[in-house]
Structure 1
């Protein structure tokens, strides 16, 4: 009979861990959706709010970078696949279609994103930075 309380306790621990994992996965999906929406419907610079705060402070966008991003509009955002990560990281490859506002030329770039889970803030942060829009220039 002593084994039964231990079994119940172990089952509860497993269920609680599963709930935490589900919440984290839900938070990841919401963050990824919000990020792609920010890039598509606002601007690439709006995506900077998703960058891990310490990295944002250490590497703020320059006026030149902001001006370069302002020249571009995101026409398409397609997740191509995921890459192996750890339980606290998520990596994905995204093809982004860009339109130059000045020349109306269209080109695609590949963005390899790394997202990291912040257990303290219960938030996923982009740690790979904004897309490199100079690809192919």
Structure 2
């Protein structure tokens, strides 16, 4: 009986550690992604997008040209991420964009979906980069 209790306690502790690691990885990933967009590197932000999503729907040269025409002046996560499923979270972000040619600012809403890959221990953006052409 004592061995069973030890095994059960070990399993519970390991599950708790895995959850804490996943949460820490999410926080680090979301912070790094936000910093990447704040510094205006949409090209670098592609590294956060799920490779399967990129393969099925790669950004066009026109998309990338549009990203080069804007700078992020504010990145507001609002309430932060909310859990949708065991390995999936969603986050709604307000991006304040400045057109580098006209210096006019506008706000777009970016609805992000992030998926955790337990094998790679990595969070991937499955919703793609924000649509900077929305009105």
Q: Which residue of 2 aligns with 1:119?
A: 118
Distance 1:80 1:45 in 2: 24
Q: What secondary structure sits across from 1:80 in the alignment?
A: coil
Higher relative CO (CA 8 A, sep ≥ 6), structure 1 or 2? Answer: 2
Judged with a 3 Å threshold, the aligned counterparts in structure 2 of structure 1 residues 98 and 42 are, in CA distance, closer, same or farther, namely closer
RMSD of aligned residue pairs (Cα, Å): 1.1
Could you tell me which runs of 5 or more consecutive residues in structure 1 were left unpaired when the two chains were aligned. Answer: none
Q: Normalising to structure 2: TM-score of the pair?
A: 0.94
Distance 1:54 1:21 in 2: 24
Q: What secondary structure sits across from 1:92 in the alignment?
A: strand
Could you tell me which runs of 5 or more consecutive residues in structure 2 were left unpaired when the two chains were aligned. Answer: none
Q: Which moved more, 1:37-46 or 1:120-129?
A: 37-46
1:59 to 49, 57, 60: 57
**Structure 1 segments (4+ residues) deviating >4 Å:** none
What is the number of residues matched between the two proteins? 134
